[in-house]
Amino acid sequence: MENILEVKNLNKKYDNFELKNITFNLPKGMIMGFIGENGAGKTTTIKAILDIIKGYSGEVKIFGLDSKKDERKIKEDIGVVLDDMFYPEILTPKDVNNSMKYIYKNWDEKMFNDYLKEFSLSPKQQIKSFSKGMRKKLEIATALSHHPKLLILDEPTSGLDPVARSEVIDIFQDFIQDEECSILLSSHITTDLERIADYITFINDGEIALSKTCDELLEKYGIVKCHEKEFKKIAKEDYIKYKKDKYEYEVLIENKKDFKKKYDVDIVDKITLDDLMVLMIKGVK
């Protein structure tokens, strides 16, 4: 399968934080959910991929091209929404349109205006009067309106109500329908990712903890809830992490079918991405 984005051994060191050997691939025509708690390194990784931050080591290839050497060739085909992105507040969407058509060769004014109508954004209203959700919609409309092949999105649905989020998620799904375009989507709203992501990459404390298909995680992984007596019978190699509360253990396992067979267990709970994050971060081995 052809990769649209390849990240290999990405490292970046700050005084109190470090990205360590970040490696993952995003295939063409797929959506990858990028998850992790605040401060885990999601935004730093994205900014390194986009070459916004400097002083990192490692290799980033986009469309098979070096992200540093071929930045100009690549830029035209990437749409970006960053969590800390902003436009000057005195501008209007009409001003944004007039600027972008000189920046992107493939800028589609009709598409942009259609998105403004779909998102109920007035072309002549100053951005300073927009709510957070309205600003996010404007950023998404801008990112989509030059026909990119890759969307890199950092919390794109932050600030949107459930109806608007559902609308935007549908747009993202439409974006990849031709199987030529891909999305790297960082989000804390894991229910959205469970709905649309083909792959999940989980970063924890500056390191990739796992990168797998979403189906594999949600179908094969599971949680066993048991008392201490039952937990002590489980071999360490048969679980990933566990968390103990006042009354029972929650045990994260990688293969529900094999675990049931080996330990003669009838019930293994399905896992959500929220469950996975909590157990991977708070659990112990």
Q: Hey, CA dihedral for 176, 179, 181, 186, is it positive or negative?
A: positive
Domains of the chain and any CATH numbers: 3-213 (3.40.50.300), 221-282 (no CATH)
DSSP secondary structure letters along 72-122: HHHHTTEEEE-TT----TT--HHHHHHHHHHH-TT--HHHHHHHHHHTT--
The one-digit pLDDT tens for each residue of the chain (285 residues) are: 799 999 999 999 998 999 999 999 999 999 999 999 999 999 999 999 999 998 999 999 999 998 888 877 899 999 999 987 778 999 999 999 999 999 999 999 999 999 999 999 999 999 999 998 999 999 999 999 999 999 999 999 988 999 999 999 999 999 999 889 999 999 999 999 999 999 999 999 999 999 999 999 999 999 999 999 999 999 999 999 999 988 899 999 999 999 999 988 888 999 999 999 999 999 998
